[in-house]
Amino acid sequence: MNTIWAIGGGKGGIGKSFISSSLAICLTRMGKSVTLIDLDLGSGNLHTCLGIKIPNQTLSDFVSGRTHSLADVTTATEIPGLNFISGFNDALNIADLNRDAKNRLIHGLRSLPTPYVILDLGAGTSENTLDFFLAADQKVVAVTPEPTSIENAYRFMKASYYRKLREAESELGIQSLIEAAMDSRNNLGIKSPADLVRYIHQTNPEAGLRLSNKISDFSIQLLLNQVRTRQDIELGHSMKSVCKKYFGIEASYLGYIDHDNAVWQSLRKRRPMVIEYPYSSIVGQFLQISKNLLNPAALRAVI
Amino acid sequence: MFGSKDGVNYYEVLEVPPDAVPAEIQRAYQRAKATYSQDNPALYSMFSREEARDLLKLVDEAYSVLGNNQLRRAYDESLQKNGAQPFAQRSTVSADHQALPDFVVPDPSIPGSIEMAAAQIHSPPPSTPVVIPTAPVSTPAPPPSEFGPRETVIVTTSEFTVRKREAPPTLKQGMAKCPMGTYPVDGAMEQEIAAKDEFDGPFLKKIRTYKQVPLEKLSESSRIGKTYLIALESNDFKNLPAPVFLRGFLVQIARQLGLDENKVVTSYMKLAKKS
């Protein structure tokens, strides 16, 4: 079975596609083969980041049922080891993806032949985006050091966390509690998911334990993009701590990417940064982040 | 934010493992302090100002315990007693303690040492468990469970039990404690100290004699020269060092005598400035 990495983050324009394409190329540089999938359905432009044309076959062929295998819509790129699946290039939107097609797609991801699959998610917190995010083994949240991006990143995390809880609630019969908690003016003193889990532990220890088990695989990897100052770097540690205190989950700080004009210069040339400037500090940072993602246990050991 | 206060684990507050070394705790504290101060963008839309202030208070509280070796040891003991955190057993931290290896290398010249080391390796806890009865307390004993009598505490570290056996000196009736030792309580004097806002030299001296702390002992523990202490206690301002040092001295003295640092420093500094 392959390993799926998802790059999300809520806000648009924070470099999700740039990050996904760069991480994918870094992985190929380490000798791994990767399938990169543009799930920013409706407005995907991952192909531009990679500097390739939109392939003839796209995900819309798979979703509409014209083809039954993801292999048919996969395009091999010029970069050895890198396969690419383009998103919709027509008027279809991610919101139009029905449950059936989504499940088929998620199932299909697992049977892709490459050992690594990278999902470039779109902006926003639509249910489909959240489901792809939750289906991934490594859930990367990209954020830039601006209040708007931070706010949306938290919103994205909250939305996916509650979606995860919803999955658990029907099984555990704690639906009413979660609904009460999501109402911010509840009188149980529950202000955050961490409070909720603690409350359920107190009232119903058995359900609490099962709930903890259920959400234990919900861990988030923070990636800070467009870093300009030292303070920006520290922001990752702070956000990690806030996640821990708010959600009661372990988040890891994957690393940061510097702000660099070379990024948009390479984008203008429509040449991937990792190939255009292979010896730049940014590419070094991407390599380090790829290593951290390949071995998340090592990252968690570092304080 | 953290529910009931007794549910808070200081290690969780600072997000350090229970066996963290002091340097880790120091770093975690600095990071937490930076995170929950008012203008950090990472708090935006997650914690309100009040919540951040509460968290900051909690972080300070956690550090005031975990940052102090003695308090931390006592805290670990209380965690163990409550049985809430079995992992705390590993963290009876003191610098000398941590340097000890988990397993003792057997020395063939000592009879029985090999068997002991072997026993250590085969039993999951690193050293032989020592079962000690807890001090008799007034609370009713919990019913014995099937895992054996509950009123015994198993402590896995022999060094630890040595410390535990040194029962804390119980205070005699009518005695009180300050960082420098015990002294007989005088109600009127205690009230006078509590009511006092202005601390001058003679009054500090009065407190010191009341608390039965000799000048030599205070000088030794606060590392302030005797001549300075005498000058300070007799309001002899021209023989006192520069304000910045004087302030440090006052903090030390207030701490050693168990007084409110703030009150002592502000009032005395005001006095010194006037002269």
The answer, for B15 touching chain A at a CB cutoff of 8 Å, is: yes
pLDDT value of position B170: 60
What is the phi/psi pair of residue A221, to 5°? -110, 120
Query: For chain B, what percent of residues have pLDDT higher than 90?
Result: 17
Give the pLDDT of residue B26: 93
Is the pLDDT confidence value at B104 over 80?
Answer: no
Residue B71 has pLDDT above 50, yes or no: yes
More confident residue, B46 or B150: B46
* Annotation: CATH topology of A3-147+219-301: Rossmann fold (3.40.50)
Q: What is the residue-level pLDDT of chain A in tens, covering all 303 positions? A: 899 999 998 899 999 999 999 999 999 999 999 999 999 877 788 988 898 888 888 888 888 888 888 999 999 999 999 999 998 666 566 667 888 888 999 999 999 999 999 999 999 888 889 999 999 999 999 999 999 999 999 999 989 988 888 887 776 766 666 676 666 666 667 777 888 788 788 877 887 888 888 888 788 999 999 999 998 999 999 999 999 888 888 789 999 999 999 998 998 898 999 999 999 999 999 999 999 999 877 766 544
Q: What is the pLDDT of residue A90?
A: 64
Rounded mean pLDDT of B71-93? 66
Nearest to B28 among A145, A246, A303 (CB): A303
C-alpha torsion angle, residues B147, B149, B153, B154 (rounded to 10): -40
Strands A3-8 and A116-121: parallel
Q: How far is CA A22 from the centre of its chain?
A: 14
A239 touching B (Cβ < 8 Å): yes
pLDDT, tens digit, for every residue of B195-241? 888 888 999 999 998 888 888 888 888 888 888 999 989 988 888 88
* Amino acid present at A195: D
ipTM of the complex, rounded to two decimals: 0.77
Q: Is B21 within 8 Å of chain A by CB?
A: no
pLDDT score at A37: 94
**Residues of chain B neighbouring A198 (CB-CB closer than 8 A):** 3, 7
Q: Going from the N-terminus, what domains does chain B have, and what CATH number goes with each?
A: 5-91 (1.10.287.110), 111-136+146-166 (no CATH), 176-274 (1.10.260.40)
CB nearest to A147's CB, from B20, B41, B51: B41
Higher pLDDT, B93 or B216: B216
Mean pLDDT (chain A) is 87
DSSP letters, chain B, are: --SSGGG--HHHHHT--TT--HHHHHHHHHHHHHHTSTT-GGGTTTS-HHHHHHHHHHHHHHHHHHTSHHHHHHHHHHHHHHTS-GGGGGG---HHHHTS-SSPPP-TTSTTHHHHHHHHHHSSSSS--EEEEPPP-SSPPPPPBTTB-TTEEEE--HHHHHHHHSPPPPPPTTEEEETTEEEE--HHHHHHHHH-----HHHHHHHHHHTT--HHHHHHHHT--HHHHHHHHTT-GGGS--HHHHHHHHHHHHHHTT--HHHHHHHHHHHHHH-
Q: Does B136 touch chain A (CB under 8 A)?
A: no
Confidence band (pLDDT; 50, 70, 90) for B186?
confident
**Min distance A286 CA to chain B CA atoms (Å):** 23
Rounded Cα gap, residues A226 and A145, in angstroms: 7
3-class DSSP state of A132? helix
Q: Which of A146, A199, A238 sits opposite B34 (nearest CB)?
A: A238
Helix axes A16-29, A281-294, angle to 10 degrees: 80
Residue/partner pairs of B230-237 with CB below 8 Å, 24 or more apart: B232/B201, B232/B204, B233/B201, B233/B202, B233/B204, B233/B205, B233/B208, B234/B201, B234/B202, B234/B205, B235/B200, B235/B201, B235/B202, B235/B271, B235/B275, B236/B201, B237/B271, B237/B272, B237/B275
Residue B1 touches chain A, beta carbons under 8 Å:
yes
Spell out the SS3 assignment of B247-260: HHHHHHHHHHCCCC
**Of A194, A190, A163, residue with least CA distance to A177:** A190
CA dist., res. A197 & res. B28, Å (int): 25
Q: pLDDT value at position B158?
A: 40
Q: How many CA atoms lie within 13 A of A42 on its CB side?
A: 13
Chain A hits for B46, CB-CB cut-off 8 Å, are 154, 242, 246
More confident residue, B36 or A54: B36
The answer to whether residue A154 neighbours chain B at the CB level (below 8 Å) is yes
Contact B42 A239 (CB under 8 A): yes
Beta carbons of B42 and A150 less than 8 Å apart: yes
The mean of the pLDDT values for chain B is 72
CA distance A247 to chain B (A): 10
Among the partner-chain residues B1, B42, B51, the one whose CB lies closest to the CB of A235 is B42
**pLDDT at residue B87, rounded to an integer:** 42
- pLDDT score of B123 more than 70: no
Out of A150, A198, A241, closest to residue B32 by CB:
A241
HSE-CB of A94 using CA atoms within 13 angstroms: 22
Which positions in chain B touch A150 (Cβ < 8 Å)? Answer: 41-42, 44-45
User: In the prediction, which pLDDT does A81 show?
Assistant: 94
Going by C-alpha positions, the residue among A2, A22, A3 that lies closest to residue A267 is A22
pTM of the model: 0.64
Is the dihedral angle over the CA atoms A267, A269, A272, A274 positive or is it negative?
Answer: negative
Yes or no, beta carbons of B46 and A242 under 8 Å apart: yes
In chain A, where the domains are located: 3-147+219-301
**Residues A91-95: contacts with CB within 8 Å, 24+ apart?**
A91/A42, A92/A41, A92/A42, A92/A60, A92/A63, A93/A41, A93/A42, A94/A39, A94/A40, A94/A41, A94/A42, A94/A122, A94/A126, A94/A128, A94/A129, A95/A126, A95/A128
